[in-house]
Amino acid sequence: MNEGDILLLKGHEIINLLVGRELELIDVVGAAYISHARGASSLPLSQFLSFPGEALNRIIALPAFLGDEFNLAGIKWVASFPGNREMGFDRASAVLILNSPLTGRPLSIMEGSIISAKRTAASAALAARCLNSNPKLIEVGLIGCGFINFEIARFLLASFPLLSRFHIYDKVVQHAHHFEAKCRELSRDVEVIFHDDFEDVLSRGGLIAIATTAITPFIETLENCPGSSTILNVSLRDLTPEAILSCDNVVDDVGHVCRAQTSVHLATQLVGNGDFIKCTLADILTERVSRRTERDKTVIFSPFGLGVLDLAVGKLVYELALQSGEGTVVPSFLPQVWTERREEARR
């Protein structure tokens, strides 16, 4: 590519580039977390665009810079419209723009929903590795049968070789059946067990991933969830403040997750502080904090979803595309320097 060119990458091209790279993506996400924790990043608060009378629909802007070996700036513009599923579309759509930190000039525009889902799932799998008390994991609970939990299932299968059973729940039964069929594509050996109530999934304990479109908490208590369980609170708004406060809490970034009416934010409003937050995932990755303070206490991981993760995965995609020739290079996307452009004089 020449200076001023830009690389366009479509969704199916990104999928092809990332096939079978789950463990590599987990490592990339872990490195991004550590760089961010070291201060080698710039991460403004995400901006939410809402629509009057449409509580479920939103578009979010996540600008970021990530230094160290990544050295990249950019922004993800991601829309979440849950009603899309009934129209035959995915809930989320997104665009990721990568910019040079030296000139600010755009390097690539790529479809962002695949990258967003992969980095979310890689983060969840990384947290499961760090927090799960059973290294010989054979079954997982999944509350919410959408694309995010499907990707989490994919990454967990790659991370835990003995995993062979999913306990699933979705309030829309058809979504659960579609989810089961897709899980069969991930592994012929995986067993999928349906549950009519999310409480049945929680009561089994172990490792549980929650990824729904809920905007207000519906899980009031975790009293029936066995101690030493690990809950991946991916969708952030399913648990009441009381449920949050009853467990150990690990987050990705304290300042980011304690806002936008997440369950963790609601808990801080209830008690007036965030002292109940044990640490960040990066603290555990760098061994600043032990994995568990109490062996029999459930741990909740609440990731707000940081733009630096999109940049880290986006950079990997960009480099793989350049190596393989994937994508479309748009030559001279940027105009000539204005002092060198020939202007048409008015007559």
Nearest C-alpha neighbor of 117 from the set 134, 143, 93, 140: 93
pLDDT reading at 157 higher than 80: yes
DSSP 187: -
Structural domains of the chain ordered from first start: 6-115+307-340 (3.30.1780.10), 124-302 (3.40.50.720)
Express each pLDDT in 17-75 by its tens digit. 999 999 999 999 999 999 999 999 999 999 999 999 998 999 999 999 999 999 999 99
pLDDT reading at 105 higher than 90: yes
Place of tokens 């630096």: 308
pLDDT reading at 238 higher than 80: yes
Q: What is the largest CA-CA distance in the chain?
A: 82
Can you tell me whether residue 46 is helix, strand or coil? coil
**Which pLDDT value is given to residue 291?**
73
* Percent of the chain clearing pLDDT 90 (strictly above): 91
Express each pLDDT in 204-235 by its tens digit. 999 999 999 999 999 999 999 998 999 999 99
Say what the pTM is. Answer: 0.95
Confidence tier at 319 by pLDDT (50, 70, 90): very high
pLDDT reading at 295 higher than 80: no
pLDDT reading at 10 higher than 70: yes
Q: Which amino acid is at 35?
A: S
pLDDT reading at 135 higher than 90: no
pLDDT reading at 310 higher than 80: yes
Nearest C-alpha neighbor of 74 from the set 314, 316, 240, 340: 314
pLDDT reading at 151 higher than 70: yes
